[in-house]
A and B are shown apart, each in its own frame.
Chain A
Amino acid sequence: MPTVREILENKGDEVWSVSPENSVQTALEIMAIHNCGTVLVLEGSKVAGIFSERDFVRCSVEIPGFSKSSKVLTAMTTPVFYVTPDQSIDQVMLLMTEKHIRHLPVVENEQLVGMISIGDVVREVISEKDTTIRGLENFIIGREVSL
């Protein structure tokens, strides 16, 4: 079973982040430039929260007086679920589907080492299952030929 570490090795450890004091406008600009749906909120090297397109919708509806100059601090989701590099892809997928979350920070020894998305996980799961299917098919073909 592949682990989170293997996904990070393929996709790299790039993470887009803002500070809790940044404005919502700044966070939205970063998301637009990099065409992503989430930014991590970092206080120094510590994960303070996560801010997503969905948080933006929720805050616009629920917080009176919310504007783009509001601080990310007021709009982010916290605490943040996270995973470690040694967790299996199946565990991560379970966490993502149960909690309806699409992005998880990867933390090792209290340090942020990357971020994985539901898309990364799905690609990995599907490729792993395809490999299993091919292996089983080859086994059957091999045995039938030798019979």
Chain B
Amino acid sequence: MATVRDFLKVKGHQVWSVSPSTPLKEALGIMAQHKIGALVVLQDGNVVGIFSERDYARAAVEMSALNMDTPVRELMTSPVYYVTPLQSADEVMALMSAKHFRHLPVIDDNRLVGVISIGDVVKFVIHEKEDEIKNLEDYIWVHFA
């Protein structure tokens, strides 16, 4: 069974982050520029929140006008669910679908080591199942053909 560590080996450890005081305008700019759906909010190296396009869309409903100077801290989701590098792909997928998350920070020893998205997990799980099918077919071919 693949673990979170295996995903990160494939996709890399790049994480887009902002600080809690980053203005909304700047955070949205990073998301639009890099075509990403969420940013990790870091303070002194600790994960204090996550800010997603959904957080913005939901918060905007209640804002009387879009104030682009609002600090991210006021709109982010906190506390944050996270996973560790040794958790299995199945556990991550279960957490994501139960909570309707598309992104989870990966934390090892209190240190942020990556972010995985629902897209990463799905690609990996499907690939893994295809390998399993191929192995079973090979086994049948060798033993019974």
Contacts and interface: CB of A to CB of B under 8 A. Distances in A.
A133 B56 contact: no
Contacts, number: 85
A68 B35 CA distance: 22
A136 B119 CA distance: 27
A136 B60 contact: no
A136 B140 CA distance: 8
B136 A60 contact: no
A37 interface: yes
Contacts of A139: 140
B91 interface: no
A5 B73 CA distance: 43
A54 interface: yes
B53 A54 contact: yes
Given A29-B61, A67-B66, A136-B136, A126 B32 contact: no
B54 A53 contact: yes
Given A53-B54, A56-B56, A58-B32, A137 B126 contact: no
Contacts of A97: 119, 123
A32 B57 contact: yes
Given A60-B28, A68-B66, A97-B119, 20 more contacts: A25-B61, A28-B60, A32-B58, A35-B100, A53-B54, A57-B32, A57-B56, A60-B68, A61-B25, A62-B32, A68-B63, A118-B119, A119-B97, A126-B126, A129-B130, A129-B133, A136-B136, A137-B136, A140-B143, A143-B143
16 contacts: A54-B53, A56-B57, A57-B53, A57-B57, A61-B28, A67-B66, A68-B63, A118-B118, A129-B126, A133-B129, A133-B132, A133-B136, A140-B136, A140-B140, A140-B143, A140-B144
